[in-house]
Amino acid sequence: MDGYASAGAGVTPSPWRRWLVLPLWVYGLFIFVNLSQYVWMLAAAAYHQVPFGEVASGSVRTPARELIRGVAGPLAGLPLLAVALRYLGPRGVTWSVLRPECRQLAIGAALGLLALSLLVGALALVGAASVVAGPARMAPDSLAALVGGKLLWSIFKSGLEDVLFIGLLARSWAAVCGWRGAALRVGTFFGIIHLLNVLPALAASQALAVLAAGATFGALLTLLAARYRSLWVPIGFHAAWNLGLGTVLGATVSGAKDLGGLWVTGLSGPAWLTGGKFGAEASWVAVLVTGAFLVHAALGVPVRRGGTTRGPSSPVCRV
């Protein structure tokens, strides 16, 4: 069954349901799948012999904790994602099996690594980013646990966001307002949910930067799916971006400070340049870089008569 072509077939929801209830519904699915975090937190608490609250608050930061999260999180989360797609998703969505498209995944990953290289290269060029520690800072087995755990968790989290927010939400909106209209709306939604994670700790100017960066990134992921007619391209882009930034370079990702990655990258300079507490993703340089890729993706989205943009005809998810 063609999940994209059949989006919303025979269903005409009211505007308030489409623009308000639907995003809240999809975000609810995201929270539902994230219940899996309690599994890995309980496992980490048992392993470290500490109260659950210490793991949940982030007080426990060890390579073993990262490995437990990277293994137990996806093992618990993937079944919940399958349930969410099959039984809890919007009507008209009947698929729940991911059929890999390696070529499209590779295209997305290459674009993501290119974008990240431009961002980090620009920051390094002006002296705002530098490697402050390397692999030798910890024992090889600890480093393997740290990097392996972060790798698995990054792939799971980025894929989860893309399947729900692009595969469900953007696809549903695109059936009504086209893919460019969906990109605008998903970008705004993406920016808001990332801002809410760190809002209490940010000044107003930096909150605006986080919102702009998130909106640009979310719109980019949406239009990558539309241009390349596959959800695997934004999944590859998102995963490569997060893996490169967090797992390899060890920089702060989405405001979450941890033990670093293969290396530890430090940022110094004004918040508009470095992204401040949120990390390099909230730098206005990142907005410019992802904005350039957004234009690239938008120019490749064909427009039919009447202004409706044509998106993926063959979904990544089929039954």
User: Domain coordinates of the chain in residue numbers?
Assistant: 15-318
pLDDT of residue 91: 60
CA distance 182 to 234: 15
Distance CA 301, CA 22 (A): 24
CB within 8 Å of 160: residues ≥ 6 apart: 30, 33, 77, 81
Give the model's pLDDT for residue 13: 63
Spell out the per-residue pLDDT of the chain, length 319, in tens: 333 433 444 445 677 788 888 999 999 999 999 999 999 999 999 999 999 999 999 899 999 999 999 999 999 999 999 899 888 877 655 443 457 789 999 999 999 999 999 999 999 999 999 999 999 999 999 999 999 999 999 999 999 999 999 999 999 899 899 999 999 999 999 999 988 877 766 777 888 999 999 999 999 999 999 999 999 999 999 999 999 999 999 998 887 778 899 999 999 999 999 998 889 999 999 999 999 999 999 999 977 544 444 554 444 333 2
d(CA 269, CA 80): 41
Where b means 16+ CB within 10 Å and e means fewer, 185-201 reads bbbbbbbbbbbeebeee
For residues 101 and 297, give the distance between their C-alpha atoms in angstroms, rounded to a whole number: 19
pLDDT at 98: 59
Q: Which residues pair with 100 in a beta bridge?
A: none
Predicted TM-score (pTM) of the model is: 0.89
pLDDT at 12: 57
Q: Look at residue 257 in the predicted model and tell me its pLDDT.
A: 75
How many angstroms separate the CA atoms of 146 and 70, rounded? 9
Two tokens at 5?
Answer: 């072509």
Task: Calculate the dihedral angle through the C-alpha atoms of 20, 194, 155, 186, rounding to the nearest 10 degrees.
Answer: 40
Amino acid at 175: A
pLDDT of residue 96: 37
Which pLDDT belongs to residue 27?
95
What pLDDT is stored for residue 307 in this prediction?
Answer: 47
Q: What's the confidence (pLDDT) of residue 138?
A: 94
Please report, for residues 55, 56, 62, 132, the alpha-carbon distance to residue 59 in angstroms, rounded to integers and kept in the order given. Answer: 6, 8, 10, 23
